[in-house]
């Protein structure tokens, strides 16, 4: 079985299993006032991680991908459960709270995914500079996918669009396979990827970018992702407008 097939099978199976026993903490009200579940998030994370495990790649590469996916998904899950009612958004708000001595779920996500990116980068690259750039790309791609999560299906579409061109087929296949199994329920407003899913899938794409790029490519991607983070609100608004057409 291919990585995409395994990822889709695991994501779909986990999602169906979670839906058989819904829990109140796993439900949310979406932008349109409809009740949806958050089960696509853990399903996507586990599916993408499972897909990487069967890739015919070096063990260090597979470990880096699984580490980034599960750590980013775990940090996103913490934010889904603890930070759901926190109105603060963006790096500045969470870093400002941290300066005042408050550790928000957003700060946990920021530093946790950054640390996971560093660890994955250490497995993928040899030189310290390349490892730092790898961390920026992995964490930055996770954040970029999060910025698109403003309407049903928007983040899933972003994952498919980012994964399709120019990325190593094997590594990109895992997140793409996982999201393919869930996109219909996402678009149908029965579920949502939440922070768990978008960060896990984004981190998986980040690893795919890192594995297929040298220093010049990493630098270009890192610069673009830093710019995207700086203009995050504008990107989210643009995605929202496009998804309404």
What is the residue extent of each domain of the chain?
3-243
Q: Determine what percent of the chain is predicted with pLDDT higher than 70.
A: 88
pLDDT of residue 33: 86
- The bridge status of strand 27-29 relative to strand 35-37 is antiparallel
Mean pLDDT of 203-228: 94
Higher pLDDT, 124 or 103: 124
pLDDT of residue 109: 83
Q: Three-state SS for 191?
A: strand
Mean pLDDT of 39-57: 95
Mean pLDDT of 158-166: 86
DSSP of 6-38: HHHHHHHHHHHHHHHS--GGGEEE-TTS-EEES
* Mean pLDDT over each residue of the chain, to the nearest integer: 88
Is residue 160 over pLDDT 60? yes
Confidence of residue 235 (pLDDT cuts 50, 70, 90): confident
């Amino acid at each position: 079985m291919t990585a995409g097939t395994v990822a889709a099978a695991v994501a779909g199976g986990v999602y169906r299993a979670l839906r058989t026993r819904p829990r109140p903490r796993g439900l949310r009200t979406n932008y349109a006032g409809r009740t949806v579940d958050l089960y696509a998030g853990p399903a996507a994370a586990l599916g993408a991680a499972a897909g990487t495990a069967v890739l015919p790649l070096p063990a260090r590469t597979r470990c880096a991908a699984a580490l980034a996916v599960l750590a980013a998904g775990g940090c996103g899950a913490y934010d889904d459960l603890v930070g759901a009612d926190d109105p603060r958004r963006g790096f500045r708000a969470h870093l400002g709270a941290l300066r005042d001595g408050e550790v928000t779920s957003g700060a946990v996500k920021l530093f946790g995914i950054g640390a996971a990116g560093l660890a994955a980068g250490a497995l993928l690259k040899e030189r310290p500079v390349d490892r730092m750039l790898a961390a920026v790309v992995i964490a930055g791609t996770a954040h970029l996918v999060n910025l698109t999560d403003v309407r049903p299906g928007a983040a899933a579409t972003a994952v498919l669009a980012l994964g399709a061109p120019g990325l190593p087929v094997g590594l990109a296949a895992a997140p793409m396979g996982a999201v393919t199994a869930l996109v219909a329920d996402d678009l149908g407003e029965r579920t949502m990827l939440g922070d768990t899913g978008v960060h896990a899938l984004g981190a998986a794409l980040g690893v795919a970018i890192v594995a297929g790029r040298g220093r010049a490519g990493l630098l270009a991607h890192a610069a673009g992702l830093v710019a995207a983070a700086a203009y995050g609100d504008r990107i989210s608004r643009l995605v929202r407008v496009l998804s309404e057409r």
